[in-house]
Amino acid sequence: AAGAVPTNSSKPRLALVRGVPHTFSSCITMEKPEAAIDVELARKQHSDYVNILRGSLLVDHVVELSPMDEFPDCPFIEDTAVVIGSKALITRPGASLRRGEVEAVEAELRNLGFEIHNVEPPGTIDGGDVLYVQNTLFVGKSMRTNSRGIEALARAFSPIPVVPIDVAETLHLKSVLSPLGRNSFLAEETFHAKQMLELIRKASMDSCDCVFTPHQGAANLLWVGNTLVYPSAYPCGSDLAELYANSAERVIPANISEFHKGDGGLTCLSIVID
């Protein structure tokens, strides 16, 4: 989840993904989507996403965990673990209905040899709130992530500095902003997203440029090595297309409209491990 550093030119070793359960259309949503989630289409979009990771050779190896019908939100695997170097923090998701998702992820990461860290109650943290850039962990304090969860993150990855950022009016920190190349960020053009970005800017040593988009959801971008995967379901004018093209060595569109309906973006669907 946290390993998506656009400055890293080496190819990531591994990505973890989790398929779409039959129950996916009953996943948690902040607002009822205008159109119902099409589970078959979600399956197809998920397999296209996996093909981008595997088929476009963005990572050496993709591990696919089996979906579980008890956990409609399980494709949003990013929320279940934060992996940096040889360590993995298994999260305690803020949504109680999602807590059981972590079990299979923990088993897989243990099996792969990662040093496992856990979050004790009442701590909660979702991987969607964790952004690792410029050797700093920025972590959203949100409706899903609390102070105890942030402390667990800091303990697990000490001595990496941890900077909490208050998240308002959106699910996760990364729902509304992403790195865009070496020293830039793309964020939604809203008061709250701008405020969050300002805090990131203040805390980071390097100065960074900020670009804003009016398109809700268009600022969650997936970086894998030097490749930028962007959400093509948004009506992002040529302005954004050009921006994307200028920001990465390689740019790949992915349509994940059915996951957007469940409040998820591109990063949510994988844990990319460098």
Report, in Å, the least distance between residue 264 CB and ligand CIR.
4
Residue 164 interacting with ligand CIR (CB under 6 A): no
| Sole binder of ligand CIR in the list 39, 68, 95, 154 (CB under 6 A) | 95
Residue 262 interacting with ligand CIR (CB under 6 A): yes
Nearer to ligand CIR, 14 or 219 (CB): 219
Nearer to ligand CIR, 258 or 263 (CB): 263
Please give the Cα distance from 55 to 228 (Å, whole number): 15
Residues 47-86 that bind ligand CIR (CB under 6 A): 73, 76, 78-79
| Sole binder of ligand CIR in the list 43, 46, 172, 260 (CB under 6 A) | 172
Number of residues that bind ligand CIR (CB under 6 A): 18
Report, in Å, the least distance between residue 136 CB and ligand CIR.
19
Instruction: Tell me if residue 172 is catalytic.
Output: yes
Catalytic residue among 27, 74, 236, 268: 268
Catalytic residue among 46, 74, 172, 236: 172
Task: Output the six-digit token pair for 266.
Answer: 């591109």
Residue 28 interacting with ligand CIR (CB under 6 A): yes
Check: CB of residue 27 under 8 Å from CB of residue 71: no
Check: CB of residue 167 under 8 Å from CB of residue 140: yes
Report, in Å, the least distance between residue 159 CB and ligand CIR.
26
Residue 101 interacting with ligand CIR (CB under 6 A): no
Residue 106 interacting with ligand CIR (CB under 6 A): no
Residue 188 interacting with ligand CIR (CB under 6 A): no
Instruction: Tell me if residue 260 is catalytic.
Output: no
Which residues contact ligand CIR by CB under 6 A? 27-28, 73, 76, 78-79, 95, 98, 127-128, 171-172, 175, 262-265, 268
Residues taking part in catalysis: 172, 268
